Structure 1
Amino acid sequence: MARAQGARSQLAAAFETVYGTAPVSGFTRLPFASSTLSAEQPLLGSELLGYGRDPLAPVKDAITADGDLTIPIDAEGFGFWLKAAFGAPVTTGTAPGPYTHEFRSGNWTLPSMAIETGMPEVPRFAMYSGVMVNQLSWTMQRSGLLTASAQLVAQGETVASTSQAGTPTDLDLLRFGHFNGQVTRNGAALGNVISAQITYANNLDRIETIRSDGMIDGADPSIAALNGQIELRFADMVLMNQAIAGGPCELEFAYTLTSGESLTVTAHAVYLPRPRIEISGPQGIQASFDWQAARGSSPARMATITLVNNTEEY
């Protein structure tokens, strides 16, 4: 008897034309490291009296479909998650490439996806419709595997014994590594950085209307947030002076491959709090700045994400 194994699982995704309606074709196989995306429906215990000490049968509550995906930050597949988080990009370039995809914060209308996770050996293929990205986050550091966490909100789940995604398209995996990364401040390299954490959140508001199927009607984006933390060896007063003065700076988090592909996240107006500086012993002194981004003046948006690759469109 075959048993489900994570090594044999697969994931395919496609953007929906109508929210909650999975397309019949156009799926792309995307790499992932782990997934908690699933639907659950709890039971509500009976509160009724008068039938003795043994409880009456429970009733079903509303369905919740959500979870997290751990995904690699690569030159092609990551563009699908950027489109889901920020909306369709502005793309420039001519065949055969490279193409520059510019994703911009502030869109009120975000696309939804259909995502199928498959366990062929069971077999179990779960199609999640109306999937939207609530949050994208990752950490820049010196070594290790570079992955991001995508926090997803879905409308519902449909389970079948065969795949509903048809024959998905495969992408070339061109993965960025931590050693490809760089952090700059106002165009100049920011030194002594130990790690940098980046989180973008759409703060989706679930539309929980009364429905016979127990699903949500949708998820509307509210005020977005871009924040994180920069930890560095305390070697100068550059960031401390900015924190004291209270003005913004532009921070850029970038990865570049030798083959020309690149990913650049630019926060146009970043504000820094004044942190505590502690001397905890004879070793090097570190400082942590919990930064927050806001809408800039030129350009008049909070963030721009630029992805350069050979994919013509998303």
Structure 2
Amino acid sequence: MARAQGARAQMGFAFETTYGTPPVGGFTKMPFASTTLGAEQPLQTSELLGYGRDPQAPIKDAVTADGNVVVPIDVEAFGFWLKACFGEPVTTGAEAPYTHAFHSGNWSLPSFSIETGMPEVPRYAMYAGCMVDSLNWQMARSGLLTATTSIVAQGETIATSTAAGTPADIALKRFGHFNGAITRNGGNIGNVVSADINYANNLDRIETIRADGKIDGADPSIAALTGNVVIRFADQSLVNQALNGDPCTLEFSYKLASGEHLTLTAHAVYLPRPRIEISGPQGVQATFDWQAASDVVVGRMCTVTLTNDRKTY
């Protein structure tokens, strides 16, 4: 008997024309490191009395389909997740390379379908009506660069054969921590040990009464862009900004020698006053838990640009 192995798992991704309806084709094979995406339906314990000490049979509750997908931050495939998170990009360039600009604040976000497959069982799970609730990643000096996408789905359908057909392949070219840089108001911050970036759509599930127990959709509410930067304390520039309450522009970027690059620009970032602790003889570090807001000049909170050879998403 064949046993399921993660090494043989596969994932197909396609944007939907109609929410909750998987497309009949056009799936793309997506690289991923792990996933917790799945559906669950808890049981409600019987509250009835008069039948002795042993309870009556439980009843089924509503279906919840959600989870995380950990994906590499790469040159091409990551653009699908950015479109799902921010909406349709503004693409410029008459020929390759193309620059795709994703803007925060869109009220209309695309839904998509994901199929995860374990062909040796066989088990193919189709998740329809998927939307990105949040996207986050960490910047560090070393290690593998991945992002975590938190997904809200409408439901799960299990089959013994794939409904995604033969997904289109993507040439994998990854960004690495070595390619990363952080700037403040166009200049290098310096002494940054690590950084976290988290963008949240704060989806509101539409939990109507349905015979199948699924949700009717998920509406985006007020977005949030938050994170932190951990620095070796060397000067008062960030502390002074926190004390004055002035915003700054933070830019988190990756660039390959071949020219492809990814940049997230938070246009108006506010810093809290941090606690500066001397915990021992080693260097003193300070953590700034920043929050971004809409910039009055640019008219939005953040812009993500991805430059590659792909013409459209």
TM-score range relative to shorter protein:
over 0.9
Q: CA deviation at 1:46?
A: 0.8
Aligned to 1:279: 278
Within a 5 Å distance, the mapping from 1:68-79 to structure 2 comes to: 68-79=68-79
Aligned to 1:181: 180
Q: CA deviation at 1:49?
A: 1.2
1:269 to 2:236 alignment: no
TM-score by length of 1: 0.99
Q: Where does structure 1 lack aligned partners over 5 or more consecutive residues?
A: none
CA distance in 2, matches of 1:241, 1:161: 60
Within a 5 Å distance, the mapping from 1:164-203 to structure 2 comes to: 164-203=163-202
What one-letter code is carried by the residue in structure 2 that aligns with 1:295?
Answer: S
What one-letter code is carried by the residue in structure 1 that aligns with 2:28?
Answer: T
Aligned to 1:245: 244
Q: CA deviation at 1:297?
A: 1.7
CA distance in 2, matches of 1:52, 1:98: 73
What one-letter code is carried by the residue in structure 2 that aligns with 1:268?
Answer: H
Give the 3-state SS of the residue equivalent to 1:170 in structure 2.
coil
Residues 23-80 of structure 1 show CA distances to partners (whole Å, capped at 9, x for unaligned) of 0000000000000000000111111111112111110000000000110000100000
TM-score by length of 2: 0.99
1:50 to 2:50 alignment: yes
What one-letter code is carried by the residue in structure 2 that aligns with 1:41?
Answer: Q
Residues 255-307 of structure 1 show CA distances to partners (whole Å, capped at 9, x for unaligned) of 00011100000000000000000111111000000000000022110000000
Aligned to 2:26: 26
CA distance in 2, matches of 1:279, 1:53: 60
Give the 3-state SS of the residue equivalent to 2:240 in structure 1.
helix
1:143 to 2:142 alignment: yes
Aligned to 1:67: 67
Identity %: 70
CA distance in 2, matches of 1:55, 1:251: 58
CA distance in 2, matches of 1:156, 1:270: 37
Aligned to 2:16: 16
Q: Where does structure 2 lack aligned partners over 5 or more consecutive residues?
A: none
What one-letter code is carried by the residue in structure 2 that aligns with 1:67?
Answer: G
What one-letter code is carried by the residue in structure 2 that aligns with 1:51?
Answer: Y
Give the 3-state SS of the residue equivalent to 1:264 in structure 2.
strand
Residues 178-212 of structure 1 show CA distances to partners (whole Å, capped at 9, x for unaligned) of 00000000001110000010000000000000000
CA distance in 1, matches of 2:250, 2:24: 41
CA distance in 1, matches of 2:72, 2:65: 23
CA distance in 2, matches of 1:262, 1:98: 10
Within a 5 Å distance, the mapping from 1:95-110 to structure 2 comes to: 95=95, 97-110=96-109
What one-letter code is carried by the residue in structure 1 that aligns with 2:236?
Answer: M
CA distance in 2, matches of 1:281, 1:10: 48
CA distance in 1, matches of 2:275, 2:51: 62
CA distance in 1, matches of 2:171, 2:260: 12
Give the 3-state SS of the residue equivalent to 2:114 in structure 1.
strand
Aligned to 2:227: 228
CA distance in 1, matches of 2:284, 2:130: 44
CA RMSD of aligned residues (A): 0.5
Residues 165-187 of structure 1 show CA distances to partners (whole Å, capped at 9, x for unaligned) of 01110111110000000000000
CA distance in 2, matches of 1:302, 1:257: 26
Would you say how many aligned residue pairs link Structure 1 and Structure 2?
313
CA distance in 1, matches of 2:280, 2:49: 64
CA distance in 2, matches of 1:281, 1:42: 49
CA distance in 1, matches of 2:11, 2:238: 42
CA distance in 2, matches of 1:93, 1:166: 32
What one-letter code is carried by the residue in structure 2 that aligns with 1:287?
Answer: A
